[in-house]
Amino acid sequence: MTPVVGAPIITPRMKSYFMKMSRLRRTTLLAAFSMGVALLLLFVCIYGVSNATALVILASAAALGFFSMATSSRWTFLILVPLTAGLALELVVRENASGLMIFSVLSRFVLTGVLIVYIATLLTRESHRLYLDMERLAREREDALADSRRWISRLNALVVVTSTISTKNHLQEIFTEGLAEARKVFNADSGLIYSVGQDAGDMSVVGSFGYSDELLEKMQRRWEGHVTSCDACTRMKAITVDNLATDDKCPNLARVETGSAICVPITSGGSLWGVLHLRRRFPDAFTPEDVMLAQAMTYQFALAMQRASLFEQVNRLAITDPLTGLYNYRKMVRDIKREIVRSRRYKHSFSFIMADLDYFKRTNDEHGHTAGDAVLREVARTLNTGRREVDRVYRYGGEEFAVLLPETDWPEALEVAEKLRSRVESLRVEVEGVEGYLGITISMGVAAFSQDSLELNELVEAADEALYRAKDEGRNRVVTHATMLRGLPNREAG
């Protein structure tokens, strides 16, 4: 049957309510009719008696009606017994009535009383039923409104998280605002977001609330910090612990003994990006609807983390040399400009090394470009592992490399360059198809900012001039631009 467009929708609950109202209306009409009959019988009951007896009859009827309206007990009819006895005593003592007169008056009174009790009880019961129904409907309405408000709040939280992800570029801001919304919606006492490394599967805390820094540090030291230690990660589904004091739980929650918790994996495209953990101090605090909302929020987190990972990969490719894995020329220029600004502001020097492999063209000609590429990769690895922690190594282009040494003047830079040169000299490269090992040496030129130059181009040119001086003097050596200007001896190999 096709519903009529615009017709009101009658729910089963509304239909039940209308039926009860109709029954109350019929009961009221019946009670009105019965009341009319009772009043008529009451008039008949007081007909022919004295005023005192009539007053007793009216007072008894009023008392009977009051008690019948005040209570819905089935024993209300028993009130007729003492009232009838009192009326009989009145007729005997005060009226000195005959037996027939007494029987007639008492019969009419009892009939009138029964009718009054019936009417009052009927109205009371129906009114009480209607009151209970209205009270239940009011509670259901309040519950429905509370549910609506709760779901609206949850949807708003999801909208806020989605909006945050679409407008924020930094993951930390997304995690901070997303956790704030989760805390508000779930009324959580504490929460964490773990990030999972895509290569090693290591877990680290990237966002939290309800935990002090000291406690977070203890937690990080206490557990393994790997996806294998997290049930939500290994099962790839939401885990709910209704009672942390008694239920089974993963090792990461071993020392948490109060409340309840949910752990939801942050996944997208079959990849695990992290875990959302929320805890409340009361048992059984999370409903299935809470888990569904948490899963919707973690999906948004997963999109943000996936986007950030892709963005990081693009940025890394833009500043990384694909063959050696070192930073490229673009990154080098950017870092030197930044270091120039810092050096001018804080009045300290820094140094720059240009390095070039000796006779590299001969290696390519004799053993092929595959061997040359292997040599470049090994030299890059050697320079990168041999540098100081604050230094940065770049592939300048071809067989040329560069090293940036922050807050380092040329005497100390000379020592660093000599260590790197020595490490390259001792390097032996094994290449498939080439008998034995390939040896390689490197020449280096060192220039210091504020000592040799004041601009980027001048600094690079100064280091390049020192490098060419090293080449001219026999290769496999380190020359500083300062020694060239001041006539000091250079640092030679061996």
Domain boundaries, the chain: 12-134, 166-316, 329-492
Superfamily of domain 166-316: GAF domain (3.30.450.40)
For residues 419 and 160, give the distance between their C-alpha atoms in angstroms, rounded to a whole number: 54
For residues 430 and 377, give the distance between their C-alpha atoms in angstroms, rounded to a whole number: 12
For residues 137 and 139, give the distance between their C-alpha atoms in angstroms, rounded to a whole number: 5
Q: Which residues of the chain have pLDDT under 50?
A: 1-7, 492-494
For residues 13 and 144, give the distance between their C-alpha atoms in angstroms, rounded to a whole number: 13
Q: Judge whether 193 and 276 are in contact, CB under 8 Å.
A: yes
**Cβ contacts of 91-96, under 8 Å, gap ≥ 24:** 91/53, 94/50, 94/52, 94/53, 95/49, 95/50, 95/52, 95/53
b/e 344-358 (16+ beta carbons within 10 angstroms → b): eeeeebbbbbbbbbb
Q: What distance separates the 2 farthest-apart alpha carbons in the chain?
A: 155
For residues 476 and 426, give the distance between their C-alpha atoms in angstroms, rounded to a whole number: 12
Direct distance between the N- and C-terminal alpha carbons of the chain, in angstroms, rounded to an integer: 100
For residues 377 and 363, give the distance between their C-alpha atoms in angstroms, rounded to a whole number: 14
Residue-level length of the chain: 494
What pLDDT shows up at residue 124? 74
What pLDDT shows up at residue 12? 64
What pLDDT shows up at residue 469? 93
Which numeric CATH code is attached to 329-492?
A: 3.30.70.270
What pLDDT shows up at residue 219? 67
What pLDDT shows up at residue 212? 79
The phi-psi region of residue 468 (left if phi > 0; otherwise alpha if psi is between -120 and 50; otherwise beta) is alpha
The phi-psi region of residue 141 (left if phi > 0; otherwise alpha if psi is between -120 and 50; otherwise beta) is alpha
What pLDDT shows up at residue 473? 92
What pLDDT shows up at residue 19? 72
